[in-house]
Amino acid sequence: MRDRRISESTIHRLSHYYRALTALEREHFDTVSSKELANREELTPAQVRKDLSFFGSFGTRGLGYPVKELKERIARILGIDRFWNVALIGVGNIGSALVSYKEFARQGFNIKLLFDNDQRKIGSNHKGITVLGMDDLERQLNENKIELVILAVPASSAQVIVDHVVNCGIKAILNFAPIKLAVPDDVFLRTENMSMELEYLSFSLVNNLPRKSDRKKT
């Protein structure tokens, strides 16, 4: 074992492989070559092999990779071979869309609790979940063993709320507010900035950037 650090891009590509393998399984393929896997996600065979070899070799020379085993293995690496209890804070436009977003549930992310600090929303019901007030946050997160929090609040209140969430002991946060949030070093924070990709498109249009691929790097 040489350099034991895994890059962000590799992890993101694992998500792609997982997606492709799910399709391959549905199509009843037993094995898949690095070439086929690469084609499906617009990568190169060498990159697929490098990525997968990072976690040990489970391909068979002359044949390829076993679809089912590889899929399970990647699920385990990504931590989606289990269920995650998720709380969602902010039941506005984005928030209420995310409650119903089936892809999350499909990957094992179960939104168990909803929070908002708008009195008019507290007590209301979304997909069978009752919206709670923020004062109850810590007790509810603990009692429901929440490990992951999705933040869909306005940028203006995001930092205050993320501080509160961090104080409750949460170690992983997905932020949808278009703002840079500060968290302690032991908390994992990822920010989903939906305008950024639109800006990338407008940049491409005005600069006539020749296309390389559809994939994101960071």
Phi first, then psi: what are they for 34, rounded to 5°?
Answer: -60, -30
Instruction: Tell me which of DNA, its own copies, none is bound by residue 162, counting a contact when its beta carbon lies within the kind-specific cut-off of 5 to 8 angstroms.
Output: none
Name 64's Cβ contacts closer than 8 Å, sequence gap at least 6. 31, 32, 33, 34, 36
Question: How many residues bind to DNA according to rule CB under 7 A?
Answer: 31
- Residue 197 lies near its own copies (rule: CB under 8 A): yes
Rg (CA), the chain: 20
Would you mind telling me the total number of residues written for the chain in this entry? 218
Interaction mask 57-96, DNA, x per CB under 7 A: xxxxxxxxx-------------------------------
129 beta partners: 126
- What is the helix (H) or strand (E) element at residue 114, kind and residue range? strand 109-115
Considering only the stretches 5-13, 116-124, 128-136, 157-165, report the one whose residues sit in contact with its own copies under the rule CB under 8 A.
5-13
Instruction: Tell me which of its own copies, DNA, none is bound by residue 120, counting a contact when its beta carbon lies within the kind-specific cut-off of 5 to 8 angstroms.
Output: none
Which residues would be at the binding site for DNA (CB under 7 A)?
1-3, 5, 7-10, 32-35, 43-47, 49-50, 52-53, 57-65, 217
